[in-house]
Structures are given as C-alpha cells and as structure tokens.
Amino acid sequence: MAEVQKVNEEKLNLDTLDWKGMTWIDIAPPGQSEIDYLAENYHFHPLDLDDTLSRRQRPKIDEYKDYLFIVFHFPIYSKEEKVLISSQISVFIGQDYLITIHKGVLKPLVKLFRECELDEESREEYLGQGPGFLLYRILDRLVDYCQPILNKVSDGIEDVEDNILAERRGQIIREISRLRRDVIAFRRIIWPMRAVVGRLEPRIHRFINIDMSVYFGDMVDHLDRIWDGLDEYKEIIEGLNYTHDSMATNRTNETIRILTIIATVMLPVTVVGSLYGMNIDMPFAESDYAVFIVFGLMLTIILGVLLLLRKLRVI
C-alpha cells in the first residue's frame, strides 16, 4: 500500500504529500529559493513563476498543454491592523500533481494540508480523486471561509446601527468608515474571483476523474450570494451614514436654535443693563429702589420676549 511522505527540502518552505501517484506540494511562504526549486523540477513558464511572487497579480487562469496556472485572491481579516486584506494563492495543476503557493495565512488551506498529512482517510478522500478534485475541495473551504468574514461585517453594521439609534456619538464616523472600507475591499476581492471560478471547471476537467460541473456551479452560487450580501451591506452602510449625518445636522440645528433663543431673550436685557451702566441720567437712576426697578424692567422684557416667541411658535 502507498505511503504518505512529507519532504522538507533543506532551507525551503516546501512540504510535499505523495499518495498513490498523486503529489501535493505546498509552499508557504514563497521566496526566490522555492521558485528556483520549481523551475528546476518542473517545466513552468518563467512568467508564471514570477507571478507567484507578485503581490498585485489579478486572479486569472493561464492554460498550457501540460498544466494550468491559476491565481486566486481570498479575504482575510488582520487583527493587528483591524482591516480586511487580500491574500493570494497561486496554483499549478498538472495530471498527477497540485502545487499551492501562498503566504501561510489562509487557515482553511493550512488545516486541510495538515489533515491530509496526519489522516489516511483524508488523503484518500482528497488526493485519491485526482488534482482537480483536490483543487475543488481547497477552493470550497476557502469560499466557505468568506462567510465568517461576511458575518463579522454584519455584526459591525448592527453595532453601528445600535449606537446611532442610542445617540452614542463616540467613534461612529470611524466605525462607518471602517465598515465601508472593508466592504469595498471585500467586493474588490470577490468580483474577479466570480469570473475565474466560473471559467475554471471546463479547464480543469481533464484533471478530474469525475463530473464536477454541479459542484463548481454550487461554488459559483455561493460566491454570488456573498456578492449579493456585500451589495446589501453597501446600501445599509450608505443608509447608516446618511442617518448619522441627518441626526448630527438636526442636533446642530437644535443647538443653534436654543442659542438663538437665548441671544434673542438676552439682547434687550443687555441693552437695558448697558444704558443704566452708563454715566448719564436715566429714569429712576437716583431712586433708592433703582436696582429693583431695573431688575423688574429686565424681567418684564424677558417675559415679553418669551411670550412673543411662544406666540410665534418658536418655543
């Protein structure tokens, strides 16, 4: 019976699993030494090898006579930077091998490799059906991994909505901006991925022992649901931003209204106080009750202005 082997090339970030004539090579993270190793052992196009080290390579499928070169992007959430970023995975798939190249931050892929490394049943299930089936299972796990990230965005939206309705100003603007940034980044990652996955099944059909059209169709549907969810969240975030701006404007207008009322009420009182504070003859200025008379005059003016504002329905 075939045995599994794990080959650690000296000074290379390279792990290999062999099972019944099928080889899975996982490189994480890639460097020039790993790329030189692939160039020496496989007849890959030099431009494809260079693309594996590129950080800005768009998702694509390059088809050759003996192999396919595929680039995927998947979202991951950086806890340190608190931002949604894109992680690239490059794939070489041939008749009896699959090579995955990534930075090692895609947990579902790393976990799947460890499962196959430690469990014979997993090796039989994933590697025993050929490289095309193994690629499907990898993509299926990575697409499923998008759902918790989408749920995290949803939770953030609910928190912002609660804070807005509770009029907790705090960091609302910053949170809305962060959510908008995450949704934009998520959409930028998913949009080209839908096209790549949609065109993938006919091209890897020669590397699969069974008909996988239904399975890849289901994966495309899953990506479409994620895209629809992002569209919905985008509209919700825009609505929350509009609601917050409206509430902030209303609060500002209310504050200005109150200050205007105070200024209107105090203006005639200030005039009276200024006149009696001047060194000129004023009525009742020489009276022993001048202070009480002036205060009474001021109070009368205040009550009169308030009654006038109430009649005008300003207050």
Domain locations along the chain: 14-248, 254-311
Least confident interval from 120-124, 192-196, 281-285:
281-285
**Residue 251 pLDDT class (50, 70, 90 cuts):** confident
Question: So what's the pLDDT on residue 288?
Answer: 65
Residues 192-209, mean pLDDT to the nearest whole number: 87
| Residue 287, pLDDT above cutoff 50 | yes
Give me the percent of the chain exceeding a pLDDT of 90: 40
Mean confidence (pLDDT) of the chain? 86
Residues 16-22, mean pLDDT to the nearest whole number: 90
| Residue 164, pLDDT above cutoff 60 | yes
Question: So what's the pLDDT on residue 169?
Answer: 62
Alpha carbon distances (Å) from 146 to 74, 106, 197, 199: 8, 11, 15, 20
Question: So what's the pLDDT on residue 306?
Answer: 84
Is this structure's pTM higher than 0.85?
no
| Residue 165, pLDDT above cutoff 50 | yes
Residues 175-183, mean pLDDT to the nearest whole number: 90
- 8 A C-beta contact, residue 14 and residue 26: yes
| Residue 233, pLDDT above cutoff 60 | yes
Please state whether the peptide bond connecting residue 202 to the residue before it is cis, i.e. omega within 30 degrees of 0: no
Give me the percent of the chain exceeding a pLDDT of 70: 94
- Altogether, the residues listed in the chain come to a count of 315
| pLDDT tens digits along 50-87 | 999 887 788 999 999 999 999 999 999 887 777 888 99
**Residue 6 pLDDT class (50, 70, 90 cuts):** very low
- 8 A C-beta contact, residue 202 and residue 158: no
In CATH terms, 14-248 corresponds, of 3.90.1150.10, 3.30.110.30, 3.40.50.2300, 3.30.460.20, to: 3.30.460.20
Question: So what's the pLDDT on residue 7?
Answer: 45
Least confident interval from 125-134, 144-153, 163-172, 302-311:
163-172
Angle at 102 (CA atoms; ends 77, 68), nearest 5 degrees: 125
Residue 176 CB coordination number (10 Å) = 22
Question: So what's the pLDDT on residue 79?
Answer: 77
| pLDDT tens digits along 84-98 | 889 999 999 999 999
Question: So what's the pLDDT on residue 4?
Answer: 45
